[in-house]
Amino acid sequence: MLTGEHAVHLNQKIDALLAQNPPQLLQVDSGRAAARQVVKLMRRSITAIPPQSIVDCYIAGHPKVAALWDTFGDRTAARFIDGATVLASLWRGAWIAGDHAANVAANQLRGVPRPDLADLYLDKSFARSVTLPHMSIAGDKLVIDGG
């Protein structure tokens, strides 16, 4: 887990990288294109920070968080930017594909107050994260069991 100091440094690294090279949104105009962009992101991430390198650094590092930060801090910042860019591209593609102009009036667009968002992401029953063995398909619906 990042310490507060590491979180500040991570934000600073991200800001510096964004200032040097602002990312461009990707063209995502179909579900297939979205899937391709996600797989490309995973490949870039595994190449940029090989999982075994993280494990090796963690095992050898003393103190562990400092060793991970020193080794992967810059690359982690770049992964944040890449992931956020892909996510923004997916959302924009879905927004365009959903014909937002025809389906959402401009006066319906508004920010959601932070406390309302926090109520969602702090609620462990909202959009639960579960492993595949706890998922099944019933008809055309994804079902999450009690796991």
Mean pLDDT by 10 residues, the chain (147 residues): 78 96 96 96 97 93 88 96 98 91 84 89 79 84 75
From residue 49, give the alpha-carbon distance in Å to each of 43, 54, 81, 87, 136. 10, 7, 14, 19, 32
> Does residue 92 lie within any of the structural domains?
yes
Question: What's the pLDDT at 109?
Answer: 85
Same domain, yes or no: 52 and 73 = yes
Asked whether residue 55 is domain-assigned, the answer is yes
Sequence-ordered list of residues with C-beta below 8 angstroms from that of 67, at least 6 positions apart, any chain: 57, 58, 60, 61
Same domain, 76 and 138: no
Tell me, yes or no, whether 97 and 124 share the same domain.
no
Instruction: Give domain status of residue 36, yes or no.
Output: yes
Domain that holds residue 137: 113-144
* Number of compact structural domains in the chain: 2
